[in-house]
Amino acid sequence: DTGVSQDPRHKITKRGQNVTFRCDPISEHNRLYWYRQTLGQGPEFLTYFQNEAQLEKSRLLSNRFSAERPKGSFSTLEIQRTEQGDSAMYLCASSLPRGLGATNEKLFFGSGTQLSVL
Amino acid sequence: AQTVTQSQPEMSVQEAETVTLSCTYDTSESDYYLFWYKQPPSRQMILVIRQEAYKQQNATENRFSVNFQKAAKSFSLKISDSQLGDAAMYFCAYRSYNNDMRFGAGTRLTVKP
């Protein structure tokens, strides 16, 4: 178990550019979550997948944001036409489905991708 | 929609002493889970403790314990024998039946030597 990995760790971009982040969940986890966290705040839910299906999207996820999980394994989060307000830490987490074991209710988080939009 | 409220932006405790972090939540569901996560400066989220809403017994993990009051929708975290390594942001979180997890705004805990 290598944990949840996210790439890149840091991304600096100019306003208006597109960026894409990748998340590799723990291999046996079929649920994958994206959160956004600004400094001094708790993580805000963006979206989550069960396998390749995107089951829920937050209103925070504007039409400039798109997330995919094409094969039910890794996921990508793309932000188009970035704005300075998009600057944040983007966290990915994974978990087992509910009801499959004593530890399945907890989310395992990656280290995040810190985005800075100049 | 469920909301999680942490009313203490900052708390401090003397090393070896006990501190309690507060959390309240709002929900209409009866089946859910509550968590406390720790986020050190590295910003890696680390699970501290979890509580199933259907269990009356308060969860305990070594020096960490919770006081879960379901009727009051309160879920506080008690850290006993505080250590320097406990210094971090602590987030209370609620996970609903549909698996959407919501976090509070966090409490920054400082441990004084």
The one-digit pLDDT tens for each residue of chain B (113 residues) are 668 999 999 999 999 999 999 999 999 888 889 999 999 988 888 999 999 888 889 999 999 999 999 999 999 999 999 999 999 999 999 987 666 788 999 999 999 99
Q: What would the pLDDT profile of A10-36 be if each residue is shown by its tens digit?
A: 999 999 999 999 999 998 888 899 999
How far does A40 lie from chain B, in Å, by closest CA?
Answer: 7
Among A37, A39, A61, A115, the strongest candidate for a mutation testing the B interface, having the largest count of B CBs within 10 A, is A37
Q: Count other C-beta atoms under 10 Å from residue B46's C-beta.
A: 13
Strand A113-117, strand A10-13: pairing? parallel
**Radius of gyration, CA atoms only, chain A:** 14
Q: Count other C-beta atoms under 10 Å from residue A28's C-beta.
A: 9
How far does B106 lie from chain A, in Å, by closest CA?
Answer: 6
pLDDT confidence tier of residue A41, bands split at 50, 70 and 90 = confident
Q: Which residue has the higher pLDDT, A89 or B31?
A: A89
User: What CA–CA distance (Å, rounded) separates A91 from A97?
Assistant: 19
B45 vs A: CB within 8 A: yes
Contact B44 A111 (CB under 8 A): yes
